[in-house]
Chain A
Amino acid sequence: MTQPIVSLSDLSFAWPGQPPVLDVKAFELNRGERLFLRGPSGSGKSTLLGLIAGVLEANSGAVHVLDQDLTELSGGQRDRVRADHLGVIFQMFNLVPYLSVVQNVVLPCRFSKRRLGEVQAAGGAEAEAKRLLARLGLSDEGLLSRNVTELSVGQQQRVAAARALIGNPALIIADEPTSALDADSRDRFIQLLSDEAQKTDAALLFVSHDGALAPLFDRAIDLAEINHAASIMEQA
């Protein structure tokens, strides 16, 4: 329990042909913790999330997620860690356009046996998807049967949150999921997301350029505090 869920040490990453964008000596996220990570646009927040999600590979250093060093795993093994234990929410366009709302939400269960097992224990994937959607304020049948591209941005983001939460992942990473929302629905969205995360003991790593959101979380840090990459200094 004392082990952090994410721990980075001496991590460095550069996009091909570019100067390093990330150089992180140490960073930790505890289990169940809801952390706000602030940084201006282009500072490397999404890149950092990509590394934690195991989609990108660090040039050097260690990326521990759930006691495993992703840098020592193969691409397939990293994919499995992500499929089993991570929920991801993007800034926008989170949904697969040709799937229904419920089909979008249950998508992770298709790629992870662990999550499929969890939802089956909880009464089936569809029932669980509907339960999560209802908790996030999307219970109207007419709304659920609508084409996902016809939903408002706020509704789409809540569907994405339900998808990230399904099957009780240990870590939710959210990449500026509220930047397209107005202030009201933004705060409500964060409240719902962080409540649901807390209920399942999932840690939440929420990044945004908007420092005003910081009070809504357990802890808030600036990417600049942990990132020492020179190229970012120049930009700032």
Chain B
Amino acid sequence: MGVSIFGLAWRSLMNRKVSAFLTIFAIALSVALFLGVEKARNAAKDGFDNTISGTELIVGAPSGQINLLLYSVFRLGNATAEISWPTYEAIAARNDVAWAVPISLGDNHRGYRVLGTTQSYFEHYKYGQRQSLAFAEGEMFDDLFDAVIGSEVAKQLGYEVETPLIITHGLGAGGLTDHDNRPFRVVGVLRPTGTPVDQTIHVSLEAITAIHVGWETGARNPLADNIPEETIRGFNLTPRTVTAVFIGLKNRATVLRTRRDLNTNMTEPLLAIIPGQALAELWQVMSTAERVLLAVSAFVIAVGLVSILTSILTSLNERRREMSILRATGARPSHIMTLLIAEAAVLGFMGAVLGAILIQIIFAVAAPILSAQYGVALMGTGPGLVDAYTIGAVTLAALFLGIWPAITALRRSLADGLTVKV
């Protein structure tokens, strides 16, 4: 029986390996870009929504709700102002508040943010589907200079329990601004969460106060270096201010009323936000950019598809003879059409499949880097329905585009008659 029309299409493509491969590669790159954008944005949204859960309100000094969300939850940017300790105490003492966890931000260790808080943080901070923080190693901070580190901090810096660490003042690099006279000691390492917690170093609020003894002016007072640890431990280390407060309510139904109350009726001006709402607003801002990106990548696929047309149309000239041989041996117009459309579809299909494989490789390589650099764990980027749909759509589009060269080839072969002039 010999070779089927699809066999012919395949062999004909293999006969033009370089051109076929380049076309397939162009499509693969465009499909990989599209799938990458699509998967990354879904994964980002999921990761995003899972960053914090179980916290009904976040309270900080008045700024914008996205700003407050960014610095308190994502450790991005800086608080412009803090709230006073008495205000925190007033919030915690409210009847409708079940728990209130203060946090204090502002310092770093080798680029990782240091978060001062209380032990109750480990009890109340939840992420994903209300999952609690868990320890991979060690336990909560207890002593003044104890530190609990996130999983990425441990992994990237190679730290474990008992590793000493020096906190740097502010968010800049270390050196002159190191709190090197007050070394900390790792006492606990958290399990990975896929949230910014993984990039954070947790210490007690008192520790934050303690390391800033002698920094009251904002710069180091060398005399303070000589204050012995014993003396510092004897100080009243209750902080004067905190950066933000995470709040859980006794009754979730009162959230709007409590928020209004906090926003308007406190002695100090405050901003209380509902994390879910703020996340949605933040996502709204990002989704415009993300949709533009998706549209651009869809256009890139169109460019890839055009390369199929270019490759087949330019091949037709040198294939006039091949077409007339096929016609002479009995091929009907439908065979010629099928042959060329099949070639286009094969190019589209192979390109799309290669693209889908390519993006998996890229994610496999990029995931550890992304998670280390930005604390985003890209989940759900594995092969899925979106890949199947994309491969199907690209193949179908290639198939339809193949009609063009198919008709061109047919017209020519009819005009050529039995023999082609060399």
Contacts and interface: CB of A to CB of B under 8 A. Distances in A.
Interface of A: 46-47, 49-50, 53, 55-56, 75-76, 79-80, 82-84, 86, 88, 90-91, 93-99, 102-103, 106-112, 115-116, 125, 163, 175
Nearest to B327: A55
Q: B1, B4, B326, B329: which has the most chain A beta carbons within 10 Å?
A: B329
Given A55-B417, A107-B329, A97 B4 contact: no
Contacts, number: 95
Contacts of B422: 93
Contact of B326 (A75, A91, A96): A96
A47 B332 contact: no
A96 B1 contact: no
Given A99-B3, A116-B1, A50 B330 contact: no
Majority secondary structure, A binding face: helix
Contacts of A98: 11-12, 14-15
A55 B333 CA distance: 11
A110 B12 CA distance: 16
B268 interface: no
A111 B333 contact: no
Contact of A53 (B325, B335, B418): B418
Contact of B332 (A49, A50, A83): A83
B418 A111 contact: no
B331 interface: yes
Contacts of B11: 98-99
Contacts of A110: 1-5, 330
Interface residues of B, number: 27
A195 B5 CA distance: 33
B232 interface: no
B110 interface: no
A99 B3 CA distance: 9
Interface in B100-145: none
Given A84-B330, A90-B325, 9 more contacts: A47-B417, A50-B419, A75-B333, A79-B331, A91-B419, A98-B11, A102-B2, A107-B3, A107-B326
B332 A90 contact: no
B328 interface: yes
Contacts of B417: 46-47, 50, 55-56
Contacts of B326: 96, 107
Interface in B397-422: 414, 417-419, 422
A111 B325 contact: no
22 contacts: A49-B419, A50-B418, A53-B418, A55-B327, A55-B328, A79-B327, A79-B330, A79-B333, A80-B330, A83-B329, A86-B330, A90-B418, A91-B419, A93-B325, A97-B322, A98-B12, A99-B11, A103-B2, A107-B326, A110-B2, A110-B4, A111-B329
B321 interface: yes
Contacts of B4: 110
A116 B330 CA distance: 12
Nearest to A79: B332
